[in-house]
Amino acid sequence: MRPSLLSLALAAASLPGLASAQTIPAGATLQNGAVADVTPTGFDALSDALPALVGELIGTSIPVDDVNSEIGELLGCSFVAYINGLDVALTINSAALHSQAPDKLLLDLNATIRINSSSDPFGLYVGLSPSQGDWQCFLLSWAEIDCDAYVDPVTANVGATLRATLVGGQLSLELVSFEQDLTATIDSSDLHLPGCDFYEDLIDLAWGFVADYLESFINDSLGGMVEEALSDAIPPLSFEGETELLDTTLTYSLTPGSLTIGNDTLRIGLDAAFDAPPASCVSAYDLGGSIMTGDGAIPGPFTTIPSTGQPFALDVLLDDDLANNALYVLWRGGVLCYTVDEETIGIPLDTNLLATLLLSSENRAWFTEIFDDASSPILIRTVPTVSPTVVLGAGHDMDAYVEGLDLEFYAWVRDRWARVISVRTDIAAGVDLEYDPTSGDLGIVVDLDTGAITGTVVYNELRPWLTEDIESHFSSAIGALVDPLVGSLLGDLTFTIPGIYGIKLSSMKVEAVGNADDWLGAFAGLTYDPAAAGSGCDADGGCESGCDSGCDSGCETSATPAARAQAAAGYGSLLALGGLIVSRRRRR
């Protein structure tokens, strides 16, 4: 049986030094509170998307500056070349992405390179250098090329090695080396000069210059373009800000703190911190922080799902200490302190209803006779004495517990509000995550079974002999109130996980992992959908060009800071309340 958190809290508070040694205060940074992994299967999936991704970010047409340069000698005379209108078109045929310990990413591309075409040639002039002073060379003034040209499409293998590091909380890529075999795959026969027929040595001289220039351009420019393209494709990894959760201002920070690269594996550790202004309604019960439950060991890295042995592409692992600290911060900020009355809850609340809910029919008269009017209005005030928690591996993806939540029932008696009953409530709610790969929606399913809510009467001075009857009816009575309220708040709680450049989650399996089942693991497959491979969104989350299908799949909202805050707010409110949330209430 799971020990009561209240008993653990009291034990911690009673032992000298234990509370401070085993609690995490508000605002503290929990290093590696969450980790994300890419597996060999994940690198394979990313490789499938790379041809379109690199092509889209680099562009299929790469304009090249015009050229004016001396190119060499023929028969002892210097020649120059002028090239204008060069246009290099690039098509990525295949790609492979791998990681290599301790800090490298290896990218291999097979590309078709088109250098203009018969319908769109570049201008090529090759002739005697104007600076040529030897009068004998003027005899070669007839030897010149001045016509349109193009090069047959060629296939080249390109290899880039990039160093990956964390800089300012973001994954940074630096080009270490770049290799290509363009000159090994083409020769002067690939250069076409339609309508021109010249001395073969002059054509070879011209081709040597064109080939050298293209090789230099690819070496000097394409590698940097690949580096920039991949860097631009990396989504933001740091999230900082604040959001309003049920009238509590939550400040959050999630920043990469560690990067571990192995052979075809990559792990990013995320440091997290939460804070909120303390509320007076819980200050008397505050132990100074959330109670640590784990042993600090980070599970994995995994290459298969622990429970099924099936490979997966990427995972996110969340330490339950991080989740519980977030709940503690929200609790400390007063998120569970509220007052419910008829106006705010939207249903009639009076003493007659209270008696019907809490008492058997033969005892209701004993209760209602206390009041001047059997239908006197009532209100319910919450006093949360213990921070909510989540427990993993207990039957659901997460089991949320709200213990020691006192419900104080007040009635309007003789022109004033008077407390008539207080019930200390314990709530246990199962929380499961359901992912729909078709829509990309992640749904939150809350399970409040019969018996999930229990209560003990802690105040009943007016009718103490009714305490046993109240406790026996409490679970079903309060459930009748809570179930529709929780359903109204959480029934449609879903989050869209958008695709990035057509890369989408194809599946998700959630389960507890770690030595003590103290980490929540979400193990996902990846798929590439060319139809959703739009160019992403602009900095404000809008879609200005090339993003119609990408935006339809959710890129527009996923990119904005407001959307991130909204998602964080949804998850926080779910965990903070653990199933007992009144969506419309008056805070005190």
Distances (CA, A) of 20 to 29, 266, 272, 289: 15, 35, 19, 8
Average pLDDT over residues 255-261: 95
Higher pLDDT, 243 or 554: 243
With tokens 């809570």, the residue in question is 482
Higher pLDDT, 221 or 328: 328
Q: Is the predicted pLDDT of residue 548 greater than 90, yes or no?
A: no
Q: Is the predicted pLDDT of residue 423 greater than 70, yes or no?
A: yes
If we measure between CA atoms, which residue out of 145, 270, 132 comes closest to residue 207?
A: 145
Higher pLDDT, 430 or 185: 430
If we measure between CA atoms, which residue out of 41, 48, 261, 91 comes closest to residue 162?
A: 261
Higher pLDDT, 515 or 357: 515
Least confident of 145-149, 507-511, 539-543: 539-543
CA distance 528 to 549: 13
Average pLDDT over residues 87-101: 90
If we measure between CA atoms, which residue out of 306, 273, 474, 263 comes closest to residue 393?
A: 306
The reported pTM is 0.80
Q: Is the predicted pLDDT of residue 550 greater than 70, yes or no?
A: no
Distances (CA, A) of 451 to 308, 406, 474, 482: 32, 17, 10, 13
Which of 2-11, 194-203, 294-303, 325-334 ranks highest by mean pLDDT?
325-334
Per the CB < 8 A criterion, the answer to whether 498 and 533 are in contact is no
**Which stretches within 72-222 are classed as H helix?**
200-217
CA distance 537 to 500: 10
Higher pLDDT, 573 or 195: 195
DSSP structural state of residue 142: T
Q: Which two tokens stand for residue 331?
A: 């609790």
Burial class (CB in 10 A: 0-12, 13-18, 19+), 215: middle
Average pLDDT, the chain: 80
If we measure between CA atoms, which residue out of 438, 455, 392, 474 comes closest to residue 552?
A: 438
If we measure between CA atoms, which residue out of 82, 56, 169 comes closest to residue 536?
A: 56
The Cβ of residue 17 has, within 10 Å, a number of other Cβ atoms equal to: 7
pLDDT tens, position by position, 525-538: 999 887 766 544 44
CA distance 204 to 189: 9
Write down the number of H helices and E strands in the chain.
Answer: 13, 26
Burial class (CB in 10 A: 0-12, 13-18, 19+), 173: buried
Average pLDDT over residues 29-51: 93
Higher pLDDT, 318 or 211: 318
Banded pLDDT at 581 (limits 50, 70, 90): very low
Q: Is the predicted pLDDT of residue 478 greater than 80, yes or no?
A: no
Banded pLDDT at 445 (limits 50, 70, 90): confident
Least confident of 42-56, 196-210, 236-250, 425-439: 196-210
Q: Is the predicted pLDDT of residue 14 greater than 50, yes or no?
A: no
pLDDT at 475: 75
Distances (CA, A) of 254 to 27, 31, 237, 240, 510: 12, 10, 8, 6, 21
pLDDT at 483: 59
pLDDT at 489: 46
Q: Is the predicted pLDDT of residue 20 greater than 70, yes or no?
A: no
Distance between start and end Cα atoms, the chain? 36
pLDDT tens, position by position, 556-569: 333 333 433 333 33
pLDDT at 19: 40
Which of 50-54, 120-124, 338-342 ranks highest by mean pLDDT?
120-124
Q: Is the predicted pLDDT of residue 137 greater than 70, yes or no?
A: yes
Banded pLDDT at 13 (limits 50, 70, 90): very low
Which of 264-273, 330-339, 455-464 ranks highest by mean pLDDT?
264-273
pLDDT at 571: 34
Banded pLDDT at 145 (limits 50, 70, 90): confident
CA distance 213 to 223: 15
Average pLDDT over residues 58-83: 80
Which of 68-77, 174-183, 298-307 ranks highest by mean pLDDT?
298-307
CA distance 388 to 9: 12
pLDDT tens, position by position, 190-245: 888 887 766 677 777 777 887 787 777 777 777 788 888 888 878 888 889 998 88
